[in-house]
Amino acid sequence: MKFIKPYLFAFTALLSASCTSQKEKPSLKDLYKNDFYIGTALDLNQINEKSKKEDSLIRKEFNAITAENIMKSMYTHPQKDKYDFTLADKFVAYGEKNKMFIHGHTLIWHSQLAPWMEKIADSTEMKAFMKDHITTIVSRYKGRVNSWDVVNEALNEDGTLRKSIFLNTLGEKYLANAFKLAEKADPKVDLYYNDYNIEEPAKRAGAIALIKKIKAEGGKVDGVGIQGHWKLESPSLEEIEKSILEYSALGLKVAFTELDITVLPNPWDLKGADVNQNFEGSEKMNPYPKALPDSIQNKLAERYASIFKLFLKHKDKISRVTFWGVHDGQSWLNGWPIKGRTNYPLPFDKDLKHKKAYDSILKLKETKK
Least distance (Å) between residue 317 CB and ligand 9MR: 22
Q: Among residue numbers 327 through 346, which ones bind ligand 9MR (CB under 6 A)?
A: 332
Active site residues: 153, 258
Closest distance of CB 91 from ligand 9MR, Å:
14
Based on CB atoms, which residue is closest to ligand 9MR, 149 or 349? Answer: 149
Q: Assess 266 for contact with ligand 9MR (CB under 6 A).
A: no
| Shortest spacing between CB 157 and ligand 9MR, in angstroms | 14
- 68 touches ligand 9MR by CB under 6 A: yes
| C-alpha to C-alpha distance for 273 and 9, rounded to whole angstroms | 71
Residue 16 contacts ligand 9MR per CB under 6 A: no
Question: Which residue lies nearer to ligand 9MR by CB, 197 or 286?
Answer: 197
Count of residues binding ligand 9MR (CB under 6 A)?
Answer: 8
Can you tell me the distance from the alpha carbon of 301 to that of 41, in angstroms, rounded to the nearest whole number? 20
Interacting positions 112-141 with ligand 9MR (CB under 6 A): 112
Residues 54, 190, 258, 349: which binds ligand 9MR (CB under 6 A)?
Answer: 258
Which residues contact residue 336 at a Cβ distance below 8 angstroms, ignoring those fewer than 6 apart?
A: none
Question: DSSP E strands: which ranges in the chain?
Answer: 37-42, 64-67, 101-109, 147-152, 190-195, 223-226, 229-231, 253-262, 318-323
What is the footprint of ligand 9MR within residues 183-202 (CB under 6 A)?
A: 196
Cβ closer to ligand 9MR: 177 or 227?
A: 227
Closest approach of ligand 9MR to the CB of residue 112, in Å: 5
Helix, strand, coil shares of the chain, percent, nearest 5, are 45, 15, 40
- C-beta of 111 vs 236, nearer to ligand 9MR: 111
Give the C-alpha separation, 39 to 320, whole Å. Answer: 7
Instruction: Give every CB contact of residue 342 below 8 A, 6+ residues apart in sequence.
Output: 286, 288, 289, 290, 334
* Residue 116 contacts residue 126 (beta carbons within 8 Å): no
111 touches ligand 9MR (CB under 6 A): yes
Closer residue to ligand 9MR, CB minimum distance, 196 or 305: 196
Rule CB under 6 A: say whether 69 interacts with ligand 9MR.
yes
User: For residues 113, 225, 240 and 262, what is the CA-based torsion angle, rounded to 10 degrees?
Assistant: -40
227 binds ligand 9MR (CB under 6 A): yes
- Roughly what angle, to the nearest 10 degrees, separates helices 294-313 and 356-366? 30
**Between 54 and 68, CB nearer to ligand 9MR:** 68
Terminal Cα-to-Cα distance of the chain (whole angstroms): 42
User: Where do contacts with ligand 9MR occur on this chain (CB under 6 A)?
Assistant: 68-69, 111-112, 196, 227, 258, 332
